Amino acid sequence: MADVSTDVRERIEKLREEIEYHNYRYYVLDDPVISDAEFDLLMRELAELEARHPEYITPDSPTQRVGGKPAEGFATIVHNVPMMSLQNAYSFQELREFDERVRRLIRVDHVEYVCELKIDGLAISLEYRDGRFVRGATRGDGVTGEDVTHNLRTIRSIPMRLRTGERIRLDVRGEVYMIKSEFEKLNEERRKAGEPLFANPRNAAAGSLRQLDPRVTASRPLDIFLYAIGFSPDRRFETHMEALQYLKSAGFRVNPNIRLVPGIDEAIEYCEEWGRNRDTLDYEIDGVVIKVNDLRYQEMLGATAKSPRWAIAYKFEARQATTVVRDIKVQVGRTGALTPLAILDPVKLAGSVVSRATLHNEDFIRSKDIRIGDTVIIQKAGDVIPEVVSVVAAKRTGREREFVMPSRCPECGADVVRLEGEAVARCVGLKCPAQLREGILHFASRDAMDIEGMGPALVGQLLERGLVHDFSDIYKLTAEQIAGLERMGKKSAQNLIEAIDESRGRGLARLLYALGIRHVGENVARVLAEHFGSMDAIMNARYDELVSIPEIGPKIAESIVSFFAEEANRGVIKRLAESGVLMGRPQAPQEQVPQTLAGKTFVLTGALEGFTREEAEDLIRRMGGRVSGSVSRKTDYVVVGRDPGSKYDRARELGIPILSEEEFLKMAGKR
């Protein structure tokens, strides 16, 4: 008769192996081979067997990943090998000096380097004995760290056993992080619950991993990339790349963007590449780590008291900084929107000195509890527009003041109204000079009517002198009037008059965009111009006509109908037409272009060699195709240039045909 206990133990072991395999497929390879329901059945069977036979429960069982009682505090772990900090470099010259120093110390002409993205997370060490995960710790001071083993078990991409099957001792080093999209979801949940928000994904990851209750950590979307072997008495490697390949074979997640390069020039190219492309990733990086590949060379180079001599971290320019909110002022835009603006102590951020940051709207200020006098963390959104990320509440003194949105426009004194369902407060004054000033600047901007020379200083003078009251007055200006303004001589005045005259023929699409109709950007303006062909047809278009156009949704249609229902707006357009502004398509003769791309939707990504993005989009449209800004299942082709972004990855994911620039030109009949 079979031994029942042996059968149970073997079944438990079989289930554990199968579950770990499917965890590896799902969390490491991103390539599951069973459904979630099937996985849940395996976990349920294992949990039931362990509940009936608790004597067979082991620390590395998949059921032990989640749960456990909260700890009273973290114990201290001494690392088998110190987790040293890296020397930082902030310029390519410093990288070249590092390379010269390395080659001089080991007396060679050339050194191979491994380039790795520097993940902005929390450094940890994982210890395996007999091939099983036994404990994990934070970096701490480099010599000792906090024992966060129970929390690390909740990260499913960490293997409980080495997939190689080796019963060896091994310490591996990695970075725990949180992807940006999950970070936003977590902060939104905390906002709704009235809890303090995390400043950035790194803080969220660190705070989640250092929870005393592992169940809290298990509820947080943490992941990990492994980047080194710290201690391997039972396994020898010749190069760092060989060690990384071993980590992959053993079941660890290793970043896919690691690159072996023949020298420092190529390492610098890698730094430049990821400096440009860092925002295409769904996790934060703050630089690049460059390591000598040959482990014999690493041993020869050794380390200082703080840092290894064989590695260096090239740091990208900071996109976050700490400063103080000295005041909050309100700007009025061309649509009447009131935007609060933080006046800051000047601070260097991402290569420039920042003294102002947008606060978006009143709800944004309330949600982050931003007060005048607060110390705040700021960042550049998309590396361009500074914004406040969070308040450093610990630095409050009690002298901070709450901001109150004005009830009257600071520019004209008219009422400020915030409509139900909208986050933005608006000035309702029809004669508001701020709206007119911003509106004229937009009208004259490069992508609109492109009136060169009509900048903020000149527009301000035109309004102060009463020479311009609406867009149509621009076309009544004379050289004599302009020459009489400050810093405007006869030559400058004549140049501006010529630019104004030239702008009359820009055509319907650019005029529509220049009018500043809410929700009507360049693309929508182009679609309207192509569909209707004339300003009269658009002004008289019904709501149902507008929403029948694929690119026009209900909100855009309502905005267009409302704009042209205003007699004052119709009057401005009538006066523009009387001034000779073209109300239809440009009259220049167009070459007859075959409609080879008719009915096809294209998305462009990356830098094109033969022409600009605008020229490529224009070619597609003239040949009957459509251009979209995002990849979806309705996309027919994605045209890929140099250094493509996330649209390329999305196209591959959806199986959308991908064209090189050469293939696209052949399709268009240009090759």
Domains of the chain as residue ranges with CATH: 4-64 (1.10.287.610), 88-315 (3.30.470.30), 322-417 (2.40.50.140), 433-503 (1.10.150.20), 508-578 (1.10.150.20), 601-667 (3.40.50.10190)
User: Three-state DSSP class for 213?
Assistant: coil
Query: Which of the following is catalytic: 14, 69, 118, 476?
Result: 118
| Bridge-based pairing state of the strands 601-605 and 637-640 | parallel
CB 434 within 8 A of CB 412: yes
Q: Which helix (H) or strand (E) holds 320?
A: strand 320-332
Question: What is the reported pLDDT for 447?
Answer: 85
Q: Please enumerate in sequence order all residues whose Cβ is within 8 A of that of 316, keeping only pairs 6 or more positions apart, or say none.
A: 275, 278, 285, 286, 287
Amino acid (1-letter code) at residue 7: D
**Is residue 394 within 8 Å of residue 373, measured between CB atoms?**
no
Question: Mean pLDDT lowest for which of 56-65, 208-217, 423-432?
Answer: 56-65
Our CA dihedral for 360, 361, 367, 368, rounded to 10 degrees, sits at 40
Query: CB–CB of 133/161 below 8 Å?
Result: yes
Residue at 46: amino acid letter: L
The model's confidence at residue 71, banded by pLDDT at 50, 70 and 90, is: very low
Distances (CA, A) of 233 to 168, 383, 533: 8, 45, 76
Nearest CA-CA partner of 313 in 91, 126, 83: 91
Write the pLDDT tens digit of every residue in 282-295.
Answer: 898 989 999 999 99
pLDDT of residue 4: 58
**Residues composing the chain:** 671
For 154-169, what is the mean pLDDT? 91
pTM over 0.75: no
pLDDT band at 69, cuts 50/70/90?
A: very low
For the segment 16-41, what is each residue's pLDDT rounded down to a tens digit?
A: 888 878 777 765 665 666 766 677 67
DSSP summary character for residue 308: B
pLDDT of residue 278: 87
Whether pLDDT at 72 is above 80: no
Q: Which of 191, 299, 285 is nearest to 237 (CA)?
A: 299
Using a 10 angstrom Cβ sphere, with 0-12 exposed, 13-18 middle and 19 or more buried, the burial of residue 486 is exposed
Percent with pLDDT over 90 in the chain: 39
pLDDT over 90 (residue 370) = yes
Of 86-100, 198-212, 359-373, 417-431, which gets the smallest average pLDDT? Answer: 417-431
Mean pLDDT, residues 209-218: 81
CA 574 to chain centre: 43
Phi, psi dihedral angles at 56 (to 5 degrees): -100, 0
Residue 226 has pLDDT above 50, yes or no: yes
Give me the chain's average pLDDT, please: 86
Inter-residue contact 128 to 246 (CB < 8 Å): no
For the question of residue 306 being annotated catalytic, the response is no
Q: Distances from the Cα of 651 to the Cαs of 358, 485, 620, 636, 654, in angstroms?
A: 34, 54, 19, 10, 5
Let me know: does 586 contact 506? Beta carbons within 8 Å: yes
Q: State pLDDT tens for residues 326-354.
A: 999 998 887 788 999 999 999 887 667 88
Helices within 504-565 (DSSP H only): 508-514, 522-532, 535-539, 543-547, 554-565
- Note the pLDDT of residue 239: 96
510 CB neighbour count, 10 Å cutoff: 21
How large is the average pLDDT for residues 553-574? 86
Average pLDDT (492-504) is: 92
* pLDDT per position as a tens digit, 408-428: 889 888 788 887 777 888 886
- pLDDT over 70 (residue 68): no
Amino acid at 409: C
pLDDT over 70, % of the chain: 92
* 430-438 own/partner pairs: CB under 8 Å, 24+ apart: 430/568, 432/332, 432/336, 433/463, 434/331, 434/332, 434/333, 434/409, 435/332, 435/333, 435/334, 435/335, 435/336, 435/411, 436/463, 436/468, 436/469, 436/470, 437/334, 437/463, 438/332, 438/333, 438/334
Q: Decide: 427 and 411 in contact? Cβ < 8 Å.
A: yes
| Each residue's pLDDT tens digit, 509-544 | 999 999 988 888 888 898 899 899 999 999 999 999
